[in-house]
Amino acid sequence: RMLFQVCLYFYCKFLWRCLKFVMRKLTGRCELQRICYNTKPGASRTMKIETSLRDSKSKLLQTSVSVHPDAIEKTIEDIMELKKINPDINPQLGISLQACLLQIVGYRNLIADVEKLRREPYDSDNPQHEEMLLKLWKFLKPNTPLESRISKQWCEIGFQGDDPKTDFRGMGLLGLYNLQYFAERDAAAAQQVLSDSLHPKC
């Protein structure tokens, strides 16, 4: 069965490349051109461009989705040259590709930053981490002083024990950042969520 799936995968891949070749001959446009000219600007176009670049057999196109933002303009020039596209005749293609690549590179960098934050463990010896945690208490319990850093009071805002740091094992600092942001930016909603979690309505 596994051999069949492997054969099917390569067959489909070969068939897809043949189809792309035929479409280019019929339309006179490469896949990137067809996407940019036939798809409205937005997420759909960007996702199609990303898939096309990522699945390309060209190393240049594959790596273009992860270049530094400062290198995007040069990368587009290289793509146009590789695809033998005259930028003077097709100026809109360069503009569309630039917009898509900026979005692709931007959200890929964002994902990397978020993952880095998630992997960073809470460190009780780090003053910045401790400050964020104490701020969270103040945002959620503005009228109730925290008696001590290690306290059963933490259970009042949803933590499992007397030291909240143990609750950040799975999400790392990302969990704390999210909680603090929510409690600070939308205090009313955060208070309501806290109340509902402590007093669920069955």
Q: What is the CA radius of gyration of the chain?
A: 26
pTM score, whole prediction: 0.70
Q: pLDDT per residue over 6-52, tens digit each?
A: 665 555 565 556 666 555 556 667 888 889 888 999 999 999 999 99
Pull the structure tokens for residue 174.
Answer: 């990302």
Picking from 112, 32, 102, 104, the residue whose alpha carbon sits closest to that of residue 72 is: 102
pLDDT band per the 50, 70, 90 thresholds, residue 198: confident
Distance, C-alpha 28 to centroid of its chain: 34
C-alpha–C-alpha distance, residues 88 and 177, integer Å: 47
The whole-number pLDDT of residue 135 equals 95
Q: pLDDT per residue over 125-167, tens digit each?
A: 999 999 999 999 999 999 999 999 999 999 999 899 999 998 9
Which residues have a Cβ under 8 Å from the Cβ of 33 and sit 6 or more positions away?
Answer: 83, 85, 90, 93
C-alpha–C-alpha distance, residues 22 and 180, integer Å: 55
Q: pLDDT per residue over 81-130, tens digit each?
A: 998 888 888 888 899 999 999 999 999 999 999 999 999 999 999 999 99
The whole-number pLDDT of residue 28 equals 63
Q: What is the residue whose two structure tokens read 């099917």? A: 8
Residue spans of the domains in the chain: they are 27-119, 127-198
C-alpha–C-alpha distance, residues 175 and 181, integer Å: 10
Picking from 157, 149, 158, 155, the residue whose alpha carbon sits closest to that of residue 131 is: 149
